[in-house]
């Protein structure tokens, strides 16, 4: 599917199915509201699916989109750029945190090279879809062209489509790209209007001096391009990344197929802002997996009106927080399938 046909396929949630789930939650054998945020989540997912109860959100696959960044040259991260490609090899060998979490959750792992600088190794669960071998330095020129941003978005749409066709019923966002918290911060500032200092974090763990420098790099990129959030593709091209673009497409593809998509950390949250700017109804498909320790993630999720399910102080990316949240999403839906009503179980109401 193209970007245009995907946007055209995204529809608002079904109010009738959501109302049915809201009503069912009041009749299940538990005090009303006792499942907290899980109740609202189950209602949202019924609205998304257009049926109550909604299908179980399983099986799940985490798609880890990998790309490199020209802004790395500005010294915004202590890690060498080649770690991106090396971690891709690690994902394919099954040795990264996201692999361990996916094994625990029973989720599949798909690695997508959408913009890695060095040629990536072969692997059964690698999709080679490189649009460009890393972005340009956004402090000097646009990170990519609008055509490249669109191509990367369509890589993400294609991945969502293929997963849906293969019977996957929950999509999990993942990212790998040394320096990618810098474009994520720039996107979040551009789409929310927040100050760069509010949304720029320590990423892999930079010191105070590097953090101050990173804020100035984000501010310089925003000054140079003056991105207009009403022009989402141009904003993405100016200050985004190839994996951010592909993640935006993956989220849009999930929304078009009415599948829940669990948003991981700050990179995924910045991509979710792009997706929401292109298609406001796409937010109905989004579930915030966790609250990343990166400050921009909290700003982005608040802008989207999403409440994270988990808050463990994690700040890894790779999709780790999304994979960890998937069993919670499944449990929220299973309640609507399995829990008896007061009537059926013969339990007295108050």
Ligand X SMILES: O=C(O)c1cccnc1
Contact residues for ligand RBZ, defined by CB under 6 A: 77, 79, 83, 87, 175-182, 203-204, 316-318
Please select the residue that binds ligand X; options are 111, 266, 328, 332, rule is CB under 6 A. 266
* Nearest CB to ligand RBZ, comparing residues 6 and 139: 139
| Catalytic residue from among 39, 58, 161, 318 | 318
In the annotation, is 318 catalytic?
Answer: yes
Among all chains, which residue has been given the structure tokens 């790998």?
176
Site size for ligand X (CB under 6 A)? 13
> What is the smallest separation between the CB atom of 274 and ligand X, expressed in angstroms?
15
Alpha helix (H) residue ranges in the chain: 3-9, 15-27, 37-49, 83-93, 97-105, 146-165, 181-192, 196-199, 208-225, 232-239, 242-256, 266-278, 295-304, 320-338, 342-345
Contact between 130 and ligand X per CB under 6 A: no
Of ligand RBZ, ligand X, none, which one does residue 79 interact with (CB within 5 to 8 Å by kind)? ligand RBZ
> What is the smallest separation between the CB atom of 155 and ligand RBZ, expressed in angstroms?
17
DSSP state of 6: H
* Nearest CB to ligand RBZ, comparing residues 117 and 176: 176
Classify 304 as helix, strand or coil. helix
Contact between 46 and ligand X per CB under 6 A: no
* Nearest CB to ligand X, comparing residues 232 and 317: 317
Contact between 139 and ligand X per CB under 6 A: no
CA-closest candidate to residue 235, choices 271, 286, 279, 288: 271
Half-sphere exposure of 127 (CA within 13 A, CB side): 22
Residues 178-217, mask of contacts with ligand X (x by CB under 6 A): ---x---------------------xx-------------
| Alpha carbons 182 and 9: distance in angstroms, whole number | 32
Contact between 309 and ligand X per CB under 6 A: no
Greatest C-alpha distance within the chain: 69
Of ligand X, ligand RBZ, none, which one does residue 144 interact with (CB within 5 to 8 Å by kind)? none
CA-closest candidate to residue 7, choices 308, 284, 255, 345: 255
> What is the smallest separation between the CB atom of 264 and ligand RBZ, expressed in angstroms?
9
| Alpha carbons 79 and 313: distance in angstroms, whole number | 21
Among all chains, which residue has been given the structure tokens 């990212």?
175
Classify 112 as helix, strand or coil. strand
Listed ranges 100-108, 146-154, 263-271, 273-281: which one lies at the site for ligand X (CB under 6 A): 263-271
Positions that interact with ligand X (CB under 6 A): 181, 203-204, 264-267, 292, 294, 297, 315-317
Residues designated as active site: 318
């Amino acid at each position: 599917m193209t970007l245009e046909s995907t946007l055209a396929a995204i529809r608002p949630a079904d109010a009738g199915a959501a109302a049915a789930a809201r009503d069912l939650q009041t009749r299940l054998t538990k005090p009303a509201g006792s499942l907290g945020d899980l109740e609202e989540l189950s209602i949202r997912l019924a609205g998304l699916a257009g049926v109550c109860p909604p299908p179980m959100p399983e099986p799940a696959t985490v798609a880890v989109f990998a790309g490199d960044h020209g802004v790395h040259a500005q010294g915004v991260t202590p890690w060498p750029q080649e770690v991106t490609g090396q971690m891709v090899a690690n994902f394919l060998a099954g040795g990264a945190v996201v692999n361990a979490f996916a094994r625990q959750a029973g989720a599949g792992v798909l690695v997508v090279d959408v913009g890695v600088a060095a040629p990536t190794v072969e692997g059964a669960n690698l999709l080679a879809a490189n649009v460009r071998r890393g972005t340009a330095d956004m402090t000097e020129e646009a990170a990519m062209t609008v055509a490249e941003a669109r191509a990367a978005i369509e890589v993400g749409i294609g991945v969502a489509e293929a997963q849906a066709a293969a019977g996957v019923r929950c999509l999990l966002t993942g990212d790998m790209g040394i320096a990618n918290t810098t474009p994520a911060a720039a996107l979040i500032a551009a789409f929310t209007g927040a100050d760069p200092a509010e949304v720029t974090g320590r990423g892999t763990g930079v010191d105070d001096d590097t953090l101050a420098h990173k804020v100035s790099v984000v501010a310089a990129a925003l000054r140079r391009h003056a991105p207009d959030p009403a022009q989402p593709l141009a904003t993405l091209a100016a200050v985004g990344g190839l994996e951010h673009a592909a993640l935006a497409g993956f989220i849009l593809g999930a929304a078009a197929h009415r599948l829940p998509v669990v948003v991981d950390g700050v990179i995924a949250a910045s991509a979710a802002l792009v997706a929401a700017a292109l298609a406001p109804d796409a937010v109905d498909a989004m579930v915030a997996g966790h609250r990343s320790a990166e400050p921009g993630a909290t700003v982005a999720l608040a802008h989207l009106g999403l409440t994270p399910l988990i808050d463990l102080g994690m700040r890894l990316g790779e999709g780790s927080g999304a994979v960890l949240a998937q069993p919670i999403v499944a449990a929220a839906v299973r309640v609507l399938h399995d829990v008896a009503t007061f009537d059926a179980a013969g339990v007295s109401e108050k």
